[in-house]
Structure 1
């Protein structure tokens, strides 16, 4: 879901070049050595400051990007009609990514540490979490597995006075920037599980538009300050990707994809998430009430399903579908 992509070799090179970088500032003394503030304070580029504030709060506390949208069937030639019509709304999605900025102690290296939990909900009622879904192709009913990625970590970013962000544009009274990401992951090769994907390769397109009001930009990009709270940010997100793994639709046989279209907005903390959504998380996914506190390997929807539903390869996706689908 909300995932930047960094080439591992580049990240390693950045780490090796930067690990000897001095601690950010003299006023770091006595402060939590993982606090991002002293490093953030050195950034002079406006875009750099804005992009870092989407990665996490400069004051080092958790923040949330609330996510709300819909999921549609994208079927070439409407070839699955009438069972599964092109453009049909299949689900709403409701959830969030909870994140924080983390500094490697005594360096200028920052990570974004996050977890994300997004529920598939009733297409007619966004607040009703779906527990099961009837596959219109094989007429079997499967449990609905939410997007539950623990963790989603990015970095390291070497953040110094020369750190710069993406190109910015001004649209009316908002500053905007984009991030379009083509994703290709060979799960057949890396996990030994093909998930019914064509060639065992997950191929998707993720597109993000970020916007911040010009008054918020002015208030949060002053020289030398470390803003408190989360920057008021709006995000438009779209993704085209294969059928979700719980749907038990092999892409190689049932040609089609999903299109996700969602909006996201920043919240200061988990406490600002709506009560109905917090209740669902606390009852069934309590890990997702806070961001991670240390770096570690990342998950996406597919590797998360592999780890949690398939027991890291103890069973296959095809066998999971056979065991969990009921007439």
Structure 2
């Protein structure tokens, strides 16, 4: 889960990842005008090379950031106790972001193209995907809608030999860097749907720590175009409003959610555990591959608006009224 806008995931290894042999390049992408390799090869700054390799594989193939963590209630003054207490673990989360680097043909401009699917799972059993959730405030049971953002794209960003990434820090035998993002989006104005948010504004804080072993840094920042995915670990935290499916209006029910997760890179979709692949392939098969061209992006709220609300055919309050089961 590297980014972010509103969705904020990654987000993001005991399985094989490409070894990153300097100069190696996939034969089946060498003649592809969207292959980012030739543009990546012009970068000389170590931080620039590392950050680009979190956006996607330099050889242009799909990579994955697997995401695993938990979601807690963050309630000012513990004001909802005993129905919901501050610090209560509400969900586990399990999923991934699948991404690739895409070159605008005949340019030195790159996009990061991705899709992300993250399931809310049982707080006592991370592998049990929740289909419904009982809201302890109104006593109704609602369908659980996973984070399913198609697509999450960034760019274009121009790549030259001077391209540089964030400041790096040495901690023991790892190279680390940080990205902290304050997010504010006026959904009421943009969509005409306030989702029960205060003033119709989504406000959140996204915080990422990236970590790469120094041996991996050496292997992946030399000359040429590395193959495979860089072995990267990410710590991610987000404080944000109640998820849309919870049907808790932020303007009336004081509190937020705190997400705390780990993410790690995988060389391809095949590296994801079988139980998670089975869930995706049965119910969300689009998320087995990254997009192949730039397009509009979604986040958790616009995705809900597009898919559950029919792009405004019904309101969030109407969806909650229709789907809440006593």
Whether these two folds match at TM > 0.5 is yes
Work out whether 1:243 is the aligned partner of 2:242: yes
Give TM-score scaled by structure 1 length.
0.92
Gaps of 5+ in 2: 7-28
Cα distance in 2 for partners of 1:307, 1:141 equals 22
Secondary structure at 2:311 match in 1? coil
- Cα deviations by residue, 1:117-172 (Å, 9 ceiling, x for unpaired): 00000000000000000000000000000000000000111011111100000000
Cα distance in 2 for partners of 1:322, 1:269 equals 40
The structure-2 alpha-carbon separation of the partners of 1:213 and 1:237, relative to structure 1 and needing over 3 Å to count, comes to same
Specify the alignment match of 1:252 in structure 2. Answer: 251
Work out whether 1:36 is the aligned partner of 2:36: yes
Cα distance in 1 for partners of 2:220, 2:5 equals 26
Secondary structure at 1:280 match in 2? helix
Work out whether 1:297 is the aligned partner of 2:296: yes
Cα distance in 1 for partners of 2:277, 2:32 equals 29
- Map 1:91-110; keep pairs closer than 5 Å: 91-110=91-110
Answer 1 or 2: higher relative contact order, Cα 8 Å, separation at least 6. Answer: 2
Deviation at 1:3, TM superposition (A): 3.2
Specify the alignment match of 1:70 in structure 2. Answer: 70
Cα distance in 1 for partners of 2:201, 2:231 equals 36
Specify the alignment match of 1:26 in structure 2. Answer: none
Give 4+ residue runs of structure 1 displaced > 2 Å after superposition: 1-6
Work out whether 1:268 is the aligned partner of 2:272: no
Specify the alignment match of 2:195 in structure 1. Answer: 195
8 Å CA contact retained: 1:3, 1:152: no
Cα distance in 2 for partners of 1:236, 1:2 equals 10
Cα distance in 2 for partners of 1:194, 1:116 equals 24
Give TM-score scaled by structure 2 length.
0.92
Gaps of 5+ in 1: 7-28
Cα distance in 2 for partners of 1:212, 1:30 equals 27
8 Å CA contact retained: 2:5, 2:299: no
- Cα deviations by residue, 1:60-80 (Å, 9 ceiling, x for unpaired): 000000000000000000000
8 Å CA contact retained: 1:4, 1:154: no
Secondary structure at 1:111 match in 2? strand
8 Å CA contact retained: 2:309, 2:316: yes
Specify the alignment match of 2:79 in structure 1. Answer: 79
The number of aligned residues is: 304
Specify the alignment match of 2:149 in structure 1. Answer: 149
- Map 1:2-13; keep pairs closer than 5 Å: 2-4=2-4
Deviation at 1:4, TM superposition (A): 2.8
8 Å CA contact retained: 1:205, 1:240: yes
Question: How large is the Cα RMSD of the aligned pairs?
Answer: 1.2
Secondary structure at 1:211 match in 2? strand
